[in-house]
Amino acid sequence: MAVNHAESPPRLVPGRLLAATHNKGKVEELKALFEPHGFNVVSALDLGLEEPEETEATFTGNALLKARAAMRACGLPALSDDSGLAVTALGGEPGIYSARWAGEPRDFYRAMQRVEDALKASGSADRSAKFVCALAVVWPDGQEAVFEGEVHGQLVWPPRGDRGFGYDPVFVATGETITFGEMDPERKHAMSHRAEAVKKLRATLLA
Ligand code: ITT
C-alpha cells in the first residue's frame, strides 16, 4: 500500500539524496536501489547526524519521524526507512521493535534466537512471517510521502548465510528455498519489502 500524505508530492530530482538511517545494511541496499536512477546517496551515518528516538507506534510514523529529523538537520530532501520482521504466531512481534530485540550493542544472532525462543514458547507450528518496510520522503518545504512494501515467507532455524543483514539468515521468502542471508543481494533487491516500497516510490516520485 502506498500512503501519500501530500496531495501530489513533488518529483524527487536525481542528485544528492539524504538517507536518514544509521543502519549500514540499509545504507548499502538504498544505494543499490537508488544509485542506478542517478542518485548520490549520502547517509545520516556518513554525516554523523544524531539518531532520533523512535517514539511512534507504526512503521509509517517512525519513518516520518526519522526523515523529518534528518531533513531539519541538513535542509535536504530526506529519505528514511523504518522496517522490521512481523511474525504471525507472535502477533506481529518484534515488528517496530525489530532493531531493539537485538539489544545493545546490536547482536542479530541474539535477536534471531529471541524470535526462535518466543516461537517455541508460543507452542504454535505456524512459522510464517513478513518483512515490512515504510519509506518516507520529507522535503524542506514540509511536503511528505510514505510508501510501504512487504515480503511474506517462513522462518527457518538455525540461521543460514552471511549475506544481507539483520534477520536475513532466518527468512525464506515464499517460493524460495534459500534464506535472504544466502541469497545474491541483487535477487533480494528484486523481491524484498524494501524493493516493493522503492518501486512504489519510483512510480510516484520519479515517473
Ligand atoms: P535506522 O533507524 O537508523 O534506519 P535501525 O536498524 O534502527 O536503523 P529500524 O528501526 O527500522 O532500523 O529497525 C529495523 C530492523 O529490522 C533492522 O535493524 C533489521 O534488524 C530488521 N530488518 C529490516 N529490514 C531488514 C532486511 O531487509 N533484512 C533483515 N532484517 C531487516
Local confidence pLDDT in tens for the 207 residues of the chain: 444 454 577 888 888 899 999 999 999 999 998 999 899 999 999 999 999 999 999 999 999 999 999 999 999 899 999 999 999 999 999 999 999 999 999 999 999 999 999 999 999 999 999 999 999 999 999 999 999 999 999 999 999 999 999 999 999 999 999 999 999 999 999 999 999 999 999 999 987
Which of 21, 62, 98 to mutate to test ligand 1, by most ligand atoms within 8 A of the CB atom? 98
Say which residue the cell 501530500 belongs to: 6
Which residue's CA is the closest to the ligand 1 atom numbered 17? Answer: 99
Ligand 1 atom nearest residue 194's Cα = 27
The reply to whether ligand 1 has any atom less than 6 angstroms from the CB of 81 is yes
**Euclidean distance between CA atoms 116 and 194, whole angstroms:** 24
168 is catalytic: no
Could you tell me which of 128, 125, 132 has the C-alpha nearest to residue 153?
128
Could you tell me which of 96, 98, 124 has the C-alpha nearest to residue 111?
98
- For the chain, list the domains and their CATH numbers: 2-206 (3.90.950.10)
pTM check: above 0.75: yes
DSSP, res 206: I
In the beta sheet, which residues pair with residue 187?
A: none
Q: What is the pLDDT of residue 6?
A: 47
Per DSSP, the three-state class of 56 is coil
Side-chain half-sphere exposure of 155, counting CA atoms within 13 A: 26
**Euclidean distance between CA atoms 62 and 83, whole angstroms:** 9
Q: What is the CA radius of gyration of the chain?
A: 17
